[in-house]
Each structure stands twice: as structure tokens, then as C-alpha cells.
Amino acid sequence: MIPAIGLLAGVIAGLLLDVSVPLALQPYLPIAIVAALDAVFGGIKAVMEGIFDDKVFVVSFVANVLIAALIVFLGDQLGVGAQLSTAVIVVLGIRIFTNVASIRREVFGA
């Protein structure tokens, strides 16, 4: 229940507050969001399988975001930032699809 309220509060805060993304964070925020989405879908899947653990969720969330941002940062330093961010997006996208497929099986049984 608290996570749902948190999501709602976050969205409302983002809509109400006129905040622009800091320049230094601009290349990393989209990647971090996708990484966090991966963690969230993994968490939903875990809830449905009855194996959700808040500690695992927090660790995986933070680690996902940090590692994704780190990879992109490294890529930028090496001059392959665009390609590496594409790679990260592809991997996270595949994981999100897998998680959503599991959730779909749990919900619809198919």
C-alpha cells in the first residue's frame, strides 16, 4: 500500500513542482528511470509470487540505478556513451519484458 501511495505522491509532486533536470544529470536520468522501472517490475513480480522482500527490493533498485548510471558515465568517458546507453536500454528492456511476461502469466494464467 505504501509503495502505491508513494508512486502517486511522486507523480503529483513532479507535476506540481516546476523542476528542471540538472545539467549534470541529464544524460543519466533516462537510463536511471529505465533501470528503476526494471526493479519495480521485478518487485511486482515478486509480490505476485509471494517472495517479495523489501530489503531485496531496495538493494536491487539502488544497485540497478547506480550501475546503469555508472555504465553510461563510463561510456561517456570512453567516447562510446551513445552506444553503451543503447546497450543498457536494450538489456533493461529485455528484463522488463521478461518480468512483465511473468506478471501476465500470474494474472491471466497464460
Is there binding between residue 68 and another protein (CB under 8 A)?
no
98 binding another protein? (CB under 8 A): no
Question: Binding residue for another protein (CB under 8 A) from 42, 43, 68, 71?
Answer: 43
**Contact status: 24 vs another protein (CB under 8 A):** no
- When asked if residue 74 is in the footprint of another protein (CB under 8 A), the reply is no
Site size for another protein (CB under 8 A): 48
CA distance to 12, 36, 69, 79, per residue, from 62 (Å): 22, 8, 11, 26
Separation CA 81–CA 5 (nearest Å): 35
Count of all residues that appear for the chain in the document? 110
